[in-house]
Amino acid sequence: MTATPTILGSGLDEVTRSEASLRQFLHGLPGVDQVGAEARAAGLGTRSIKTTAKAYALDLAIRMVDLTTLEGADTPGKVRALASKAMRPDPADPDCPSVAAVCVYPDMVATVRETLGGSGVHIAAVATAFPSGRAALDIKLADTADAVEAGADEIDMVIDRGAFLSGRYQQVYDEIVAVKAACARADGPSAHLKVIFETGELQTYDNVRRVSWLAMMAGADFIKTSTGKVQPAATLPVTMIMLEAVRDFREQTGRMIGVKPAGGIRTSKDAIKYLVMVNEVAGPDWLDPDWFRFGASTLLNDLLMQRTKMTTGRYSGPDYFTLD
């Protein structure tokens, strides 16, 4: 359905050296056939998987969850409980895997770090004036640096959608580069950077493809659909376009970038549709928590319910697991 994107010609530096060259590259990417994209995504969403594969998929989806709470009413007690659940989602089953990360506001990072200890569950913090992205750059960089200093090993930044939609691509590119630099840690590895597009505000699939390439060229480690605060959030067609972008970017540059759909993914059935799409569009290399995540708060409980049904033959009610 999609032609190979324009090769990065004489190199990344040449493409990103000016507003004009960046615009030329981004608008030279193949346009997205909206009808074709939606039809293909719908078709992939009808695939079914067998029992043993479903059991594997449920455990994989659990391992891919960024368990998230991003509310003004978040308290240290709520965040500690969420972090405990991240480590042991089903206390009655020691074989149940832990999730990938706990995602919180920067002021809660220290609380999460104390709770998680050396569990291996990552700490993700939203930054850069989440969810609007409307703040001065120095404030965004301070927000990022504070989260990293507190112990975040993943930063979820939001782009300035107003700048992108106005065609100020160089501004968006430069901000991502600067935030990436702010993810550096003097005494250890840099925090990974996830760049949130808020695809529900980007208006067209062509814009989703363009912003995916823009973020990857600027140094994103992950590209992420949404904040979860705007509807529509993650959708199968949008995620498919982003998966095509990371696949093609690796073919062009050798660099592998992760993808994170977030917002509105609530059921195991939905999660499995996304896993099928990952395998079919990007390939099996992305079927790993290092390269694909679900940003979710309610999805985990449904995954646990389905997992219990497969192991015991009985459904547990939604109140059997802790409510988030």
Flag residues of the chain having pLDDT under 70.
1-10, 315-324
Q: Yes or no: say if 153 and 191 are a contact pair by the CB < 8 Å rule.
A: yes
Residue 260 catalytic?
yes
Q: What is the pLDDT of residue 6?
A: 56
Residue type, 61: A
Q: What global pTM score does this model have?
A: 0.94
3-state DSSP call for residue 101?
strand
Domains and CATH numbers, the chain: 29-315 (3.20.20.70)
Question: What pLDDT score does 315 carry?
Answer: 64
**Could you read off the pLDDT of 173-197 as tens digits, one per residue?**
999 999 999 999 888 899 999 999 9
Determine which one of 160, 224, 248, 273 is catalytic.
224
State the pLDDT at residue 300: 96
Hey, CA dihedral for 145, 146, 150, 154, is it positive or negative? negative
Taking the C-alpha atoms of residue 29 and residue 214, their distance in angstroms, rounded to an integer, is: 11
Per annotation, catalytic residue among 156, 160, 221, 270: 156
Q: Which residues contact 128 (CB under 8 A, 6 or more apart)?
A: 135, 140, 143, 144, 157, 158, 175, 179
Confidence (pLDDT) at 245: 97
Catalytic residue among 140, 180, 260, 273: 260
Average pLDDT, the chain: 93
Q: Classify the phi-psi angles of 134: left when phi > 0, otherwise alpha if psi is within -120 to 50, otherwise beta.
A: beta
**CA dist., res. 198 & res. 181, Å (int):** 22
User: Do the beta carbons of residue 155 and residue 147 sit within 8 Å?
Assistant: yes
Locate tokens 């009610």: which residue?
A: 317
Alpha-carbon distance 46 to 25, whole Å? 35
Q: In the annotation, is 224 catalytic?
A: yes
Give 248-278 pLDDT, tens digit per residue. Answer: 999 999 999 999 999 999 999 999 999 999 9
143 is catalytic: no
